Each structure stands twice: as structure tokens, then as C-alpha cells.
Amino acid sequence: MFSKVWSSTTIGVDALPIVIETHISGGMPKYTVVGLPNGAVRESLDRIFAALSNTGLPRPRGKITVNLAPADVRKEGAAFDLPIAIGLLAAYGDNLSKAALERVAIMGELALDGQVRPVRGVLPMALEARSAGREALVVPKENAAEAAVVEGLAVYPVASLPEAVEVIRGTGGPAPFEQDVRALFKQAQQHVVDFAEVRGQHNVKRALEVAAAGGHNGLLVGPPGSGKTMLARRLPTILPPLSPDEALETTKIHSIDGKLNGRGLVATRPFRAPHHTISDAGLCGGGAHPMPGEISLAHHGVLFMDELPEFKRQVLEVLRQPLEEGRITISRARFTVEYPARFMMLASMNPCPCGYLTDPNRECVCAPPQVQRYLGKISGPLLDRIDLHIEVTPVSFDELDKPQDGEPSAAVRERVIQARDLQAQRYAAHHGVHCNAQMGSTLVRRHCALDTRGKQLLKTAIRRLGLSARAFDRILKVSRTIADLEGEASITPAHLSEAIQYRSLDRDWWHG
């Protein structure tokens, strides 16, 4: 007796169809799983047989062989429990037709009492099932919301093995899960914080507006309590809303990592703030079975690195490739996985070990060599990849005592969207370039031309600040963004001066 059931597994951010072939023959009882299963898949026998017994379903006997094809791809996790159980029942002759099994994809983990538990990566699996021509998807009920984001696929949320059997037989079970994706998308685009809550710090808010308008990376430098973290957490509120395609791509990554927590869609730009004790694998992804790291979870959003010098040097250096290329590649002996990592990096740090070097109200107790060692923890190549270096000063009592009258995030976001629209039109013919920060050298020369006064001003700044060629390009990119915010076609010396100001910390601290 033979059966074939369709399921899926994830590789990177995409899914691969898996065919579960089950053969039952006479002879001494024996259970074999082939097709490069890991330990969790091999242990599925005990969970499946206990679930069958505890739900009153027939328990197949004889020599059982389960093949997971393609056989050269390693199979991980417990998501194959439910489809293997269905395959056993179908091969044993439990009135599950081949036609019904052909049109449906199945995934889920089984508990010993037959309950179906949630699994990771259901959204990319649902996308793969639709592209492979499956008409329906049987998933744990906790995963139904994310699977239902995929239109044109009937999603059946099951809580137990008997419910899954009834759905496939067509004799009962839950109805297909339905939701209004557009309404969900609109409802999820809500922020709980706002720029209007920030008192003072007008120069920093302006710098963050420039960063958001051009997709630039930023570094906030200031004493403890000056509001660096508060400002950073409000940066996503002034970024343009996620497009449906961006939301789907971001949700796929969070689904694979099991971070959706019942949400159907990630509709606001992610904000990830890893602790400084994180490892390079935790930040960039990896492991024996590679999973996305924090930089991929921040895809299309903001990665906030608080207390930047406290991160391990090797962790910070790993950031250099994704900052330039917008992706991270994880190589193993048998395969290579690539995760998207197109994020805005915003970091913060104190100006010295004690934190009070620039505080007008507190005296710094650090010796100059201590300050230099502290700042030296951040390499020059990494600093070069950060476009805006922003000094944050403590807020005065007069500013704190004022009534809340700051500009709301919505007003700032409108200006950012207008600037991004200009950039979208400018780079429409250039694949992979959507904002000024993504310009290559050729585009910089084409779209960031300076007049004679601008060239002289930039020449003087480069000489006095001792900036690299990469910093030269980044000043031009920021200048282009400032001009876009003001709706100007050309970069003026005023735009250039503001962009140079955001690199002045290079001279004041890192270069003595």
C-alpha cells in the first residue's frame, strides 16, 4: 500500500516542496524514515503513533517506509509530523483519496494527545504551495493568520489530527480561514510612540529626518540621559509605510524565525535593538541549520545598536558586508544560504567611558588615553559606512518644562515620503536602487554634481577633516537628500554645508 502527501520546508527565506511517500507492507513491524531526516524527524514515530492511539484512529502495522523527497536535502524540525501521519493513514486505507491529497499541502507538529502545534515558516510554505498548484493548505490554527495572507489558497486551521483527517476527507472539520488582508494591513500600520513626545533636540530630529529621507545610517553620540534611545525608537515612525511587497518579504523572515506571535502580517517597519552581548551568529544569522539573525529581522526597518563600543569587535566588523550589499551570505560545507538585510543602521554611544565628555553640567573623569582607547573600539571602515555622525546634548530644564508642542511624526513623515518619491522617480531605471543611500559611484557623479563654490567647500572640508573617498561620496549622498527634502534640483553650498556638519565629529573626536 502506497500514499503520497505534499508538504514543504524552508531554505533561507524561500520554501522547497517536499513529497512524503509512504509504503506499508507485511512482515515484522519496522519503521524507517529516509531522505536525510534529522533527529526530530526520526523521532516522529513515537509522537505519531501516540497521537493515533489517543485519538482513536487506526494504527498501521507492518513494515513502514517513509521517504522524504528530494532525498538530498536535509529535513529539519517537527513540521512533518502531521503530513507523515496523514500519509500513514492513507497508505493503510483510511478512505483518504489520492485526488484529495494531491490538491492539498499539509504541515504541523503533533502532540501525544493528537493536538496540532504551530510551526515556523508557514508563510513561505504557503507561497510555495500556491506556486506549485496546490488548492488548499492544512496548518495549525495558530499559523492560519499568516498563511491566509496568501490569496488564492484555501487555508484550513486545524487543532487536532482528527480535524485534519475530516478536512481532507471532505466530511467536516473547520471552514477555511478568511481575513481581509487590506484591512489587516491598514490596522497594523499603527505606532505607539511619536516624535511629538520628544522635548527639544531640534538638531537631532532634523538629522533623523534627513536619514529617513535618504535611507542613511546614523550614529548618535552624547552623554547618558540625553535622549538617544528615545529618539532612536521613534525613527520608524517617520519612515515611509511599508509597501505590500515589502511587508510580505519582511513577514516571511519573521515567520521563518518564529517571531510573528499570531500576527498575520508585519505591516510596520521593524525596529530591532540587540543587546551588546550578542554573538556574530545571533546578529547575522547562522547555526547548524541557519536561521535569520537580527540584521535580517530588521530588513526594511531599523537596526539600533545601543552602546556601540560595547559590542565585540568581530561582531561589528561582520556588519560591513550587509551595510554595503543589503544581504548576508551564510556558507556551510554542503550549501549556502542568503538572507536579505536591507536595513537602516542607527547606533548610539557615549563620547567617553564615563559618558560626560560633552556634558556641560558634569565633569569628565577620563584621561585622554582612556577616551582614545574607547573610541578606538570602532574601526574606521565601519565609521565610514555611517553617513551621519550626530552630537546629542542634554535637554535643558526650560525645554523639559515646556508643554508638548513638538512636530508629530505624521507631519515629518509626509516630507520624507515626498523626498522618497523624488528618489523613486530618479532611480526608476536602476534596478535595486530606491533611495539616495543606495547610489553607486556612477550615480553619485551623475546626480550629485556641484558648482564651483560647492567643489571648493567640499575640498576644504575633506582636507580639514581628513575624510576618506568613501566619506566623500557619502557627503554627496546626504547633500542630495537635503536638496530633495527642499525640492531642489541642484545641490547648493547650503545643502553641502549641512551634510559636512554631520561629519564634523570625525575631526573633533576620532581624529583628535
Contact between residue 231 and residue 189 where contact means Cβ atoms under 8 Å apart: no
**More confident call, 505 vs 251:** 251
In 212-331 the beta strands, taken as DSSP E runs, fall at: 218-221, 271-272, 285-286, 291-292, 302-305, 327-331
Q: What's the pTM?
A: 0.91
Same fold yes or no, 2-169 and 188-408+420-428:
no
At residue 509 the predicted structure's pLDDT band, cuts being 50, 70 and 90, is: low
For 376-425, how does the pLDDT look when each residue is reduced to its tens digit (9 = 90+)? 888 888 888 899 999 998 887 777 777 776 789 999 999 999 999 999 99
Query: CA 396, CA 40: separation in Å to the nearest integer?
Result: 58
Query: CA 460, CA 465: separation in Å to the nearest integer?
Result: 8
Mean pLDDT of 443-469: 89
Q: Which of 165, 9, 164, 20 is nearest to 87 (CA)?
A: 20
- CATH assignment, 188-408+420-428: 3.40.50.300
Torsion, CA 385, CA 387, CA 392, CA 398, rounded to 10: -160
At residue 511 the predicted structure's pLDDT band, cuts being 50, 70 and 90, is: very low
Instruction: Tell me what percent of the residues of the chain surpass a pLDDT of 90.
Output: 61
Q: How many H-runs (helices) and E-runs (strands) does the chain carry?
A: 24, 18
Query: CA 51, CA 391: separation in Å to the nearest integer?
Result: 61
Across the strands, what pairs with 140? Answer: 158
The full set of domain ranges for the chain reads 2-169, 188-408+420-428
Q: Supply the pLDDT for residue 507.
A: 47
**More confident call, 443 vs 262:** 443
For 63-97, how does the pLDDT look when each residue is reduced to its tens digit (9 = 90+)? 999 999 999 888 988 999 999 999 999 998 877 88
Instruction: Tell me what percent of the residues of the chain surpass a pLDDT of 70.
Output: 97
Residue with cell 517617520: 238
The CATH number of domain 2-169 is 3.30.230.10: yes
Across the strands, what pairs with 157? Answer: 139
For 174-229, how does the pLDDT look when each residue is reduced to its tens digit (9 = 90+)? 999 988 777 777 776 778 889 988 888 889 999 999 999 999 999 999 999 889 99
Report the length, in residues, of the chain. Answer: 512
Query: CA 17, CA 32: separation in Å to the nearest integer?
Result: 21
Mean pLDDT of 43-58: 93
At residue 512 the predicted structure's pLDDT band, cuts being 50, 70 and 90, is: very low
- C-alpha atoms less than 13 angstroms from C-alpha of 33 in its C-beta half-sphere: 24
Query: CA 512, CA 508: separation in Å to the nearest integer?
Result: 6
Ranges 391-395, 477-481, 502-506, most confident: 477-481
For 8-32, how does the pLDDT look when each residue is reduced to its tens digit (9 = 90+)? 999 888 999 999 999 999 888 889 9
Residue 163 three-state SS:
helix
